[in-house]
Amino acid sequence: MSALRVTIGSAAGLSMLEQEKQWKLTHQGRGNEYHGVAVHPRHLSLFERVVLKRHKQYKPERDAQALQSELVQSDLVHTGSEVV
């Protein structure tokens, strides 16, 4: 097994938006609050899965709710309408 596979995860199929969300929280010292697809085991290195156990943060239900909330907020910003 190569050293790269052990230490570097795969970002193939991962949107830059998701990477940006994860990095933003990480740089704010709140990386443990991120629960999106960037911490899905397929995107993590062996080190991140076995030692750091980042895959345990992946919560697809919470991520779907957050995405829906973001879309609603985005729609409100673009249309200028209010939720009643």
| Domain-embedded: residue 24 | yes
pTM above 0.75, yes or no: no
How many structural domains comprise the chain?
1
| Domain-embedded: residue 76 | no
What's the CA gap between 83 and 73, in Å, rounded? 10
Average pLDDT, the chain: 85
Least-confidence region, from 18-22, 49-53, 73-77, 78-82: 78-82
- Print the domain residue range for 45: 3-59
Cα 18 off chain centre by: 5
Residue 29 has pLDDT above 90, yes or no: yes
Least-confidence region, from 4-8, 12-16, 20-24, 40-44: 4-8
Structure tokens at 79: 């249309």
